Amino acid sequence: MSNMGIVGDYLAYLEAVRGLSVRTLEAYTEDLLKYADYCKNHEIDPERATAYHVQGFIAHLSFERAAPASINRRLSSVRGLYRWMIRNNRRKDNPCDLLRNVKITQALPSVLWEDEMARFIELPEVRNILWPARDKALIFTMYSAGLRISELVSLNMNMLKGDMKSAKIKGKGGKERKVFFSDEAHAAIADYLPERTAEITAAGLKGISINGALFISRKGQQLSVPGVRWIIAQYAAQYTQVSGITKNIHPHSLRHTFATHLVNAGCDVRIVQEMMGHASLSTTQRYAHVNIERLKKVYAKAHPHGHSLANSSHRDTETRR
């Protein structure tokens, strides 16, 4: 059986024809090699697999305690493999057509409310750890533009517009969008840039200053995704220490916070969708749900009979669990 052959052919197609990003291609590779291994171990030829066989793969993942979201991602990758086979006359049907995704309990994203974000964004100056000027600019940039962490680390100087108040970036799937920086973010970037130049010069990497990464390490190198996660984690720990609030703050929280604040301010969800670079409106609409949950809590706290709503909301949560 040529399990690896068919998967390898499809992955080559994704890389050469679809032009997927490295991270997306890695995800497809992981998913499909997992499926290929399952087929090999159960003596299944993927080109002749039935819905029953794919269901067995899903059951196997569940047995391994894979998260529902991971199972659905792998199933989506397998669906894509069979769609490609059909288009290339490798088989006539898609065994995944009648299979449904595993149900996922939709968790509300972790967000900082307006007053909480104001306190968090002050931390680089107040606590004076790591690199305050860079970190203030980094947090403001992520928050004010709603950037994904991958978009932040790939933000180069030549992507900034002349006034440094906007940039054109590439998001998921190579889709371009224009993002905007608040006045505070613009001021923080302007304060950081001289220090950035000094660090690059001290590291003997002056050439990078023209078109290189906006956010760099103390060694003058482009920050990595793990590096940004580590920086935010340090400030999250500081925030808990200062405020006593133990929210799960991570780089994506700043993106969630950006979207939630726009919705709270009455921004049309479709506009937020465009600013976030979401392919589906349903992805953006969950931020409206975050707002509704907060309204429920405010009502429950302020209204004389509000405890009944709070109890009802709690019961709903327990039921979903």
Half-sphere exposure of 243 (CA within 13 A, CB side): 21
* Rounded-to-integer distance, Cα 281 and Cα 219, Å: 41
Q: Could you tell me what percentage of the chain is helix, strand and coil, using 3-state DSSP and rounding each to the nearest 5?
A: 65, 5, 30
The backbone torsions φ and ψ at residue 176, rounded to the nearest 5 degrees and listed phi first, read -85, 145
Tokens of 197: 């130049």
The backbone torsions φ and ψ at residue 177, rounded to the nearest 5 degrees and listed phi first, read -150, 155
Half-sphere exposure of 172 (CA within 13 A, CB side): 11
> Could you count the other beta carbons within 10 Å of the beta carbon of residue 2?
12
Active site residues: 148, 172, 252, 255, 278, 287
Secondary structure letter of residue 176 according to DSSP: E
Query: How would DSSP label each residue in 228-278?
Result: HHHHHHHHHHHHHHHH-------HHHHHHHHHHHHHHTT--HHHHHHHHT-
